[in-house]
Amino acid sequence: METTKLNCWNYMKCGREPGGKDSEKLGICPAAADVSFNGLNDGKNAGRLCWAVAGTFCHKEVQGTFVDKRDTCIQCDFFKLVQAEEGIANLSSNFLRFVPHDAISSLLNSMNYRHVEAGERFITQGEAGNTAYIIQRGSCLVVVEKDGELHPVNHVGQGDIVGEMAILTGEPRIAHVDAQTDMEVWELDREQFDSLAEQEPELLNFLTELVANRFDSTRPMADRGIGKYAATDIIGRGGYSIVYKGMHTTLNMPAAIKMMRHDLVMRADFLDNFRNEAKVIASLNHENIIRVYDIEERYRTVFIIMEFVGGISLKDLIRRLKTIPPPLAIDFIIQICSGLSYAHQKNIIHRDIKPANIFVLEGNHLKILDFGLACPPGTEDFESLGTLFYMAPEQIEGDPLDYRTDIYALGIMAYEMVVGKRPFPEDNLAELFKMHRTRDVPDPGEIVRDLPESLREFIIKAGRCDPEQRYKDVGEILEYFQPLAKEFGLKKHRNLLLEKRNMSTFFLVYKDEHQLEVSHLMEEFSTRLEKMGIIMKGADFQDIHF
């Protein structure tokens, strides 16, 4: 039976927790009100980290800042109780849980030992460093100095690692670290970590969790920046990435920031291919494709900065409605095909089409997400990147991919929309792999009796094992569905085989004596643009005064 962990007000019996006997008269204790520490050490708010919050009410006295009361807190019976209960910390930053048990001793033997005195600041914010510290005994406080004030942001103990961002970047430290008690630590530099990660690849998951933990917090941080954007809360996790909500720091514009997991990005073959496709992915501009603003490489991984949209994933919509009505399913298929047609013209295969990567906005407008695994035609997918439930046979086999790979996934997804579940049993993954390789998608009409014949035929043809028996491209699907869209009175979708274009306007303000030089420059500029397929138009405005 699991024992409930006490909060400070339960132990101290001060009566100043919300609803406590003295909370109305004396006010709620700041530790009970500070939600920035909520959940840490399985406590409520800062109920088990009260020493990190200023103005708490302990021993019938209002305490000062954490700096003022720190020495007293270390001697407090409740503080000692928390230390004893936590033992090897279970926070996401815990390092040793990523190291195989039989490798821990050899790891520690390869590092330098250091003793740290209680009260000693052994990491200073702003200083450069390439060393992290694994804590064998004792505990310390991580403190961010911001706008002249000190903010406690974390408490780490036995089994944890501190100063860990040095392993990733070698950039200046983002926080101070002060020893609360005498400590025994082991120094780990970046070169040692890289060597260890080669032997134990699962340590790359540790890097992902380090960065995720850095950005997913409501507490003060010295730096959450990724290029021009600042990351905040985690809004999604997947097998290949973690997605944050973010904000452009100067334009105050919301964004979604997807961080690729380190075990993927730190494979040289993947990163090289991704860099080659990154510029193309960022250039996609279509009403049914999520807009990518930028791609940044930091913290030894890749961040994809995308537009942030409200709405619901198609996965959640299917879960909510059970099935999607056929007219709406056809509308969704047409919109997805419009976006895929545009991407395919750019020689991009999405490679991970599934309901979780389709977002439904207001008015049932769709956006295709997650081009992070996109690849050009002819890619041999030996890594089987994608999502098993929607993977085409050629994707599973590692055969060269083409646009029909996306069409197969769309067929599986269409089946799921109208039937309410995926087509093959999923209790045995090995058997599921075999079914995808050897069986066509079953006839959905056997389950949904009133399914429109055209929709039924689409699902059957799109879900063929043999790519040669599928639609040759999504343009063919768009043509196929146009009569059915008219029959159901759906909004007419543009066949975006016609390429969408952007237009920019700018003005040159110059004096008469510069007229000839400007003309020559514009002729040269126009010639270079024409080679890129860009049209430039000009107009003269006379007698402009500045």
State the catalytic residues. 352
29 closest CA partner among 4, 62, 59: 62
Q: How far is CA 140 from the centre of its chain?
A: 29
305 closest CA partner among 224, 203, 419, 226: 226
Could you write out the DSSP letters of every residue in 55-67? T-EETTEE---HH
Contacts of 118 (CB under 8 A, 6+ apart): 74, 179, 180, 181, 182, 183
456 closest CA partner among 362, 333, 372: 333
Task: Please tell me the distance from the alpha carbon of residue 488 to that of residue 334, in angstroms, as a whole number.
Answer: 13
Angle between helices 326-345 and 453-462 (to 10 degrees): 40
Element (DSSP H or E) covering residue 30: helix 30-33
Q: Determine the number of helices (DSSP H) and then strands (DSSP E) in the chain.
A: 19, 19
Could you write out the DSSP letters of every residue in 124-157? -TT----EEEEEEE--EEEEEEETTEEEEEEEE-
Task: Please tell me the distance from the alpha carbon of residue 252 to that of residue 448, in angstroms, as a whole number.
Answer: 48
Could you write out the DSSP letters of every residue in 350-361? -S--SGGGEEE-
Residue 294: strand, helix, or coil: strand
What is the strand order of the sheet 183-189 is part of?
A: 112-116, 183-189, 131-137, 161-162
- Between the CA of residue 408 and those of 328, 349, 451, 462, 497, what are the distances in Å? 20, 12, 20, 5, 20
Pairing of strands 140-146, 149-156: antiparallel
Tell me the three-class secondary structure of 450-512, residue by residue: CCCHHHHHHHHHHCCCCHHHCCCCHHHHHHHHHHHHHHCCCCCCCCCCCCCCCCCCCCCCCCH
Place of tokens 């503080």: 79
Task: Please tell me the distance from the alpha carbon of residue 64 to that of residue 70, in angstroms, as a whole number.
Answer: 9
